[in-house]
Amino acid sequence: MARAYRDQARREAEELCARLPWLTSGQAEDLSRHYVQRRLAVTRRMLRDTAERAAELRAEYEARYAALRRDLLRRHAVCACAVLACGVGLCALAGLLTAR
């Protein structure tokens, strides 16, 4: 990937120098070198920023997922307790009704 970015930057530098016909060959080479260096620096910065943002988003999503899992577990526990309490209550009621 790095080679592709460098090759693309070189092609762009060559196109730029072709539009400036008054440059000497030394000036064109210097301009091309500076352009490629600058373009690669910008590309590195963009890739680094993208990777950092991806890490931030991953942390946010993992935190949200953990919160959702806790809420879901809590709801299931409450429902299970409610079903168990209803079952115990019905058993107790049935026991009272059959004892009479």
Q: What is the pTM (predicted TM-score) of this model?
A: 0.63
State the pLDDT at residue 1: 83
State the pLDDT at residue 89: 94
3-class DSSP state for residue 19?
coil
Which tokens hold the place of 17?
């120098």
State the pLDDT at residue 28: 93
Give percent of the chain with pLDDT exceeding 90: 88
Give the residue-averaged pLDDT of 20-49. Answer: 94
Burial grade of 39 (CB within 10 A; 0-12, 13-18, 19 or more): middle
State the pLDDT at residue 2: 83
Eight-state DSSP code of residue 23: S
